[in-house]
Structure 1
Amino acid sequence: MSLNGKTIAFLAAPEGTEQVELTEPWRAVRDAGGTPRLISTEPGQITAFRHLDKGDTFPVDGVVGEVSVQDFDGLVLPGGVANPDHLRTRPEAVRFVREFVESGKPVASICHAAWTLIEADVVRGRTVTSWPSVQTDLRNAGATWVDEEVVVDENGPGKLITSRGPDDLKAFCEATLDALAA
């Protein structure tokens, strides 16, 4: 499958993104010929985490309030506990996610990133998965939560790809690439 000519946004907070949930999908997009771009709430760089320990830094390609959904062919929301907790408090990040889902373009969310989907009010009536501790929040937001490694929901605009966490990255990356290539 080829993503040649496709540009994929990866939305991440300045700190707290689970590193492997950023780097593995990023590598998958790049290896499929796509162009991944890191979008954050601040310019400069983000610091990823390896669970609770600081990880590597990554350069930001664009600030969420200064880019448009039209600039991208899909969106990936990496997890980590602090990452979506930061993003869901930033109106421009929440709006970006909501506009992405409403555009019908594929949106992929892993682990705790579902908190940002909840804040954007885009999970109602959809079947999703996430890190297990987020399941009650998703149900309260109107979603059907299932315990599966990856779920592709098309019960709304576009495809919503969700996964539980790092152990499911292989399936998450494959489903995300399939949706982006379509």
Structure 2
Amino acid sequence: MLNGKTIAFLVAPEGIEQVELTEPWNAVKQAGGTPKLVSVQPGEVQAFNHLDKADRFPVDATAEEVSAADFDGLVLPGGVANPDFLRTVPAAVRFARDFFDTGKPVAAICHAPWTLIEADAVRGRTVTSWPSLRTDLRNAGATWEDREVVICTGGPNTLITSRKPDDLKAFCQAAVDAFGE
């Protein structure tokens, strides 16, 4: 159970794969935690169902306003455009990196490990992702495996990764378990 725990969800202003935001968000809430939406600018973010616009979600804080110290864990949803944008924003990269520096659990799905590559947080770790990131992750020093969920505890924190929306059930369970420890 996550009673009293606050989990950050770091997203770009648009391009978030909606189901990769909403399912982990709901899993955190159902486990008694408090999810908070962190982005690089205030206002709302635009989610997508693959390439089609979906719902908008209100931002709770910007990456410049908060730090890992304010949270108990981090979720990085996918969508191609979401992490591709985040990895170009120093405040977002710093925010993600802070969770590794402070030993707090991180869960990243689909294309989200791109942000972790930029944060130099995958070197020496075992991960999975959307298959097109395999070479990027290997070049960044990670061991890539084609599995539904990979839970890597061989580093400064627990890192949970999954490949795609079909893996969300296992991803959400692994993330909630790690956040509850």
TM-score interval (norm. to shorter): over 0.9
1:65-84 superposed Cα distances (whole Å, 9 cap, x missing partner): 11111110000000000000
3-state SS, counterpart of residue 104 of structure 2: coil
Letter of the 2:26 partner, please give it: R
CA distance in 2 between counterparts of 1:112 and 1:92 reads: 19
* Gap runs ≥5 in structure 1: none
Query: Superposition pairs for residues 1-182 of structure 1, below 5 Å?
Result: 2-182=1-181
Letter of the 1:91 partner, please give it: P
3-state SS, counterpart of residue 48 of structure 2: strand
Deviation of 1:101 after TM superposition, in Å, equals 1.2
CA distance in 2 between counterparts of 1:169 and 1:124 reads: 24
3-state SS, counterpart of residue 66 of structure 1: coil
CA distance in 1 between counterparts of 2:101 and 2:109 reads: 19
3-state SS, counterpart of residue 56 of structure 2: strand
Letter of the 1:36 partner, please give it: P
Deviation of 1:123 after TM superposition, in Å, equals 0.4
1:24-51 superposed Cα distances (whole Å, 9 cap, x missing partner): 0000000110000000000000000000
3-state SS, counterpart of residue 64 of structure 2: helix
CA distance in 2 between counterparts of 1:82 and 1:152 reads: 25
Letter of the 1:48 partner, please give it: A
CA distance in 2 between counterparts of 1:67 and 1:102 reads: 15
Deviation of 1:16 after TM superposition, in Å, equals 0.2
Task: Point out 4+ residue stretches in structure 1 off by more than 3 angstroms.
Answer: none
1:114-159 superposed Cα distances (whole Å, 9 cap, x missing partner): 1000000010010000000000000000000000000010111110
TM-score normalised per structure 1: 0.99
* Gap runs ≥5 in structure 2: none
Task: Give percent identity, aligned residues only.
Answer: 72
1:91-133 superposed Cα distances (whole Å, 9 cap, x missing partner): 0000111111111100000000010000000100100000000
CA distance in 2 between counterparts of 1:97 and 1:145 reads: 20
CA distance in 1 between counterparts of 2:100 and 2:129 reads: 17
